[in-house]
Chains A and B, each alone.
Chain A
């Protein structure tokens, strides 16, 4: 039987059914690719096409002529200043979020799961109200005749109202409040994933609680911290509402410039250039943060 079958094969076929099986594999690969087509199309439609269009627009001036004017404009003092203050505000908000959020996430990660889940609801709760409402709530709390200043004055701690809002202070308070969950949630889940046995192992090796926190827990939570910090920072870079409402006009965020370019001047080219610059800088910062987190993780590990 087998010899007969072998004789029937063309001499160059070599292996039984090789061509058939090869074709089958190709078909299967094609089918797999076919399955990912909707995702690819979606990415192309919602990401690549708009961004390419944006980048394309940024090379045309208001009259529609090809020019570098939109990018040259970014070097003018008003834009440089706005860019720097955007970075400063974002960095400050991220730093404060880390200082406030890390202990919270740590506490949550050390609590029994059920208790932590209840407490997490309180952290997620603000997501259920609009940012606008929360921002106005801060206005009510922080303004000159607001709740906090009124209390402080009644307690006799201050005689003049503190300038808590309509400046950088108010902006940062409001932004920290909005951003904190974005830092805590990824950080918490990464801390949850740290097996407590590592801390036992560290203690067994002779590490005091402080040492095992710094040398084991902190580096192991670094990826979550990095993800949370990057998310917070990037969201801050594009944040519009809270700085506009609580900044008293003083906090010139990049997003405000983009909004103005579109709504006040209908200058798509200028807005596109602003957006492209923000995107590029965001990309660079994310890359740098990733690198820094990796460095932090390994340097703490070796230290």
Chain B
């Protein structure tokens, strides 16, 4: 399947004074799994609804495989969509829910049976095809909704926070399944979520949105390792932003010159991105950056201890101490010295470049 290229050009949408989408442009490759990530109100769902045709933008263009879609009514767009609360038709059983898009396309009934069975097989729900949807669990509903979205083999699959209503274990399981399904079917997928973990796990590329604009569009690894601004950095993982001071050519933190692998941008206001898992227990003053903190709490967690650490500037961060660590377990009240390698020491500005 090679088609399914989406090209979004200068799309804007305002609700009164509120700009939901502010001149957004985005190209999605055929077969790509692209995630729109952002907090609520960032415009990610609005953008998805523009693609699906549920929201009419004030300006802009939407090309799908080179065809202008911007004024095409939703039922003529041939896109599969999985809704946040599944939106399975409560008056139809599982089979009829999945068969509905095919019936509308006037597929013969024998072919409908075959294709519905295949779609339900893909999501491992074939054995429940006669169930009423009200009798399904959340995860089962999710699978049926997915089957309904893919049964007519759309070029483009849209998903609006499809896992947000599931509990944590099921959600993590479904993330892997969705990823595998995408690898297997290869349809272009646009996925909306506010969960950075989900975005990093599943996507080929992630577009981070804020206030109706895309602030960073990149692979998950780049987004995580090289956030281009304070907003993106703080959105990923448990991150603390420590303000640094410009000193000469470089920057200093807590009175020490920072050793950096990559030259920072020229901005005056910069923050050091501190992620707990990047903090090393051992380091060298000549090579690495020293971070000192006050141990506030030590909590036993079975496989590890969780240590609450107060960093300079009143930032609290939680790091893990595992039994394999050759560093002794610190005690509350103690000052703990940790290390950041120059590669792990990333400075960001308030806004992206």
Contacts and interface: CB of A to CB of B under 8 A. Distances in A.
Interface of A: 195, 197-198, 200-209, 211-212, 215-216, 219-220, 222, 297-298, 300-302
B152 A206 contact: yes
Contacts of B101: 205-206
B83 A200 contact: yes
A218 to B, nearest CB: 10
A303 to B, nearest CB: 9
A206 B77 CA distance: 8
A99 B138 CA distance: 38
Contacts, number: 72
Interface stretch (B7-15, B89-97, B197-205, B239-247): B89-97
Given A197-B85, A200-B54, A206-B101, A297 B74 contact: no
Contact of B91 (A195, A207, A212, A300): A300
A220 B75 contact: no
A204 B148 CA distance: 10
A78 to B, nearest CB: 45
Interface string B97-108: 000110011000
Most buried by B among A200, A201, A222, A301: A201
Given A197-B83, A211-B104, A302-B96, A206 B89 contact: no
B54 A206 contact: no
Interface in B48-89: 52-54, 73-81, 83, 85, 87-89
A204 B52 contact: yes
A224 to B, nearest CB: 13
Interface string B140-154: 000000001100100
Contacts of B88: 201
Nearest to A205: B101
A202 B83 CA distance: 11
Contacts of A204: 52, 74-75, 77, 79-81, 149
A202 B149 CA distance: 11
A112 to B, nearest CB: 14
Given A195-B87, A206-B105, 9 more contacts: A195-B85, A203-B54, A204-B52, A204-B149, A205-B152, A206-B78, A216-B89, A220-B90, A301-B92
A136 to B, nearest CB: 44
Contacts of A297: 91
A302 B74 contact: no
A222 B83 CA distance: 24
Contacts of A195: 85, 87
A202 B54 CA distance: 12
A300 B101 CA distance: 15
A198 B104 contact: no
Contacts of A205: 75, 100-101, 104, 148, 152
A195 B105 CA distance: 24
How big is chain B's contact interface, by range?
20 to 34
A70 B152 CA distance: 65
A301 B89 contact: yes
Contacts of A300: 91
A201 B105 contact: no
B105 to A, nearest CB: 6
Nearest to A218: B91
Contacts of B90: 220
Contacts of B100: 202, 205, 207, 215
Contacts of A222: 91
Interface in B150-176: 152
Contacts of B81: 201, 204
Contacts of B149: 204
A73 to B, nearest CB: 46
A206 B74 CA distance: 8
Given A205-B148, A207-B104, A200 B91 contact: no
B87 A197 contact: yes
Nearest to B87: A201
A203 to B, nearest CB: 4
5 contacts: A201-B81, A201-B88, A206-B75, A206-B105, A220-B89
A212 B101 CA distance: 11
A216 B89 CA distance: 7
A219 B89 CA distance: 10
B101 to A, nearest CB: 4
Most buried by B among A206, A207, A220: A206
A207 B89 contact: no
A76 B52 CA distance: 65
A300 B183 CA distance: 37
Given A197-B83, A200-B54, A206-B75, A219 B91 contact: yes
